[in-house]
Amino acid sequence: MIQPSSLLLIPLIAFFLQSVNALKVNKEYNRPQFHLTPEKGWMNDPNGLWYDRKDKLWHAYYQHNPNSTVFESPISWGHSTSKDLIKWEYKGVAIEAEEEYKDNQGIYSGSVVIDRHNTSGFFNKSQDPEQRVVALYTLNTPTAQTQELAYSVDGGFSFIKYEKNPIIDVHTTQQRDPKVFWHEGTEKWIMVLAKAQEYKVEIWSSPNLKDWEFESFFTSGISGYQYECAGIFELPIENPKSDDPDTKWVLVLAVNPGAPMGGSVNQYFIGDFDGKAFYANDHVTRIQDYGKDYYAFQSFENTDSEDGAIGLAWASNWQYAIVVPATNHRHSQSLARKHTLKYVNVNPENNQLVLVQTPVLETKETKKNSSLKSWEVINQYDLEDTNLTSETFVATDFNSERNSSGVLDFNLTFTVAPESADYFVININSQIVQGTQETIQATFDPQQTTWFIDRSTQNDFQRKTPYYQERSSVYHQYASKDDDDIKTYHVYGIVDRNILELYFNNGEMTATNTFFFSQNKIPSSISIATDTEEEVFTIESLTIRELGFKCGCEK
């Protein structure tokens, strides 16, 4: 941790917004507040994400065991709903194995579609077209993985299994995670499946969700041990070139184990899709998130395609998922993110399309109707046009007289003078408990154009878990450069109890990492410092906020 030689508090424009009710620290100190978690038990891959346009309700299912905090049978689809993608309400188990088979069967990952035109024949006129929900999932048994479906006549809260399941059975134990969508061009349903240990992404088609025909397969990128959780979706290009289409298709694919950073990872490919096959633009493997804790991404069904895809990922890593600290629940999902494509200068001589990800803190509906928004700003500090040196120290403390919510975010735009060899650090500090305080850090090194992330804490768990890598780095280019070679960068970060999500240059690259303070500590303040005496770094704009629920409550 950097200790400036002398500290001069920079005057900050402070806006104090007191919540109606005093916040109380959740007994589950490591339960994120703005991230989806189960009420109890185990959670991993997001499944069956969809938006109910009729009731304006977001639905998320996920791999779940409510009676255990490790991955073990019976694995079912847990279910939660939200009006704003921030505050989630647990609805229990939505799809589970039959009682007599629970010890050796699991309802593994899959997806949901809205069968508006009743191609499946499961619905009648009494079901609103926007709520004709069909779930497709993998049934896992000791001898096979088969694809099955179930449908809902109550808007996704309960499901009826198709009496003629399975809908796909190729006599293997390694075919799973169906992601299904409607393809307008061919007027067919498309299923994307992982043929896990053959390193194939299979593409199937169907007119009715029940009868499926194999079309093609795609193989590329990091193979690792196996493929999982593939998906295909069409995205708008923010800044298309004159000879470009307005959209491109993206194929996402999870690998575990075998990630360059260790354990599990998501990769993506950009290309074209004709309803039968995916054709990648190139053979480049692109990483979706450069942190340790971002896996099994899935996009929401039934959102506006022109806005880009909105989706979630599991915020953990199979290297250490079953041993991280837990109380009565284990794990969360990432924040919902909006995805688009954008041409970016990845180095001084190469401009290429990349996946841009931005956090969804407000939906279209909450922007129209603020009463649907569950959260508010409790405290806020703003700063502009300030040189950062060893004589200056930016510090915010949202915990001087009361408990912190544990949810903080910061939005920083800064410039760096040419040929600087110095660096600065963003400290995310815990509360002081029994005279001790802990800090995780994000340090920027302009010579390497790299963020160095250190999630080391005093928690004994980290000493005992060698795969829990405490330090990692993310390289990215500057956002812009002027004629004097002064470079501008942007970073947004949100910390929520035990998870830190970083978005570099408006989401051109991201890094998601969990962390675990000891002694039930939670984040309470953010500070920024440097050792250099020179005016190398200029803060053009900085906003740091403490966030919490309007009700003053906690999950």
C-beta separation of 532 from 422 below 8 A = yes
What is the three-class DSSP state of 197?
A: helix
Burial 103-114 (b: 16+ CB within 10 A, else e): eebbbbbbbbbb
Q: Which residues pair with 14 in a beta bridge?
A: 381
Reference 289, options 131, 507, 12, 75; nearest CA is 507
What is the three-class DSSP state of 168?
A: strand
Dihedral sign, Cα of residue 302, residue 308, residue 313, residue 315: negative
d(CA 429, CA 528): 11
* The two structure tokens encoding residue 279: 């054709």
Q: Which residue has the tokens 């006129």?
A: 125
Residue 480's alpha-carbon distances to 346, 347, 414, 487, 488, in angstroms, are: 12, 12, 11, 6, 5
d(CA 395, CA 310): 34
Count of other CB atoms within 10 angstroms of residue 181: 18
Residue 141's alpha-carbon distances to 65, 217, 426, 499, in angstroms, are: 16, 24, 48, 33
Residue type, 239: N
Respond yes or no: is residue 45 known to be catalytic.
yes
d(CA 335, CA 423): 29
Helix (H) or strand (E) holding 275, with range, is: none
Alpha-carbon dihedral angle through residues 107, 111, 117, 121, given to the nearest 10 degrees: -10
What is the three-class DSSP state of 114?
A: strand
Which residue out of 45, 409, 422, 496 is catalytically annotated? 45
* The two structure tokens encoding residue 109: 């990952």
d(CA 13, CA 539): 14
d(CA 178, CA 160): 18
* The two structure tokens encoding residue 116: 């508006």
Reference 338, options 370, 372, 307; nearest CA is 307
d(CA 344, CA 346): 6
| Residues with catalytic roles | 45
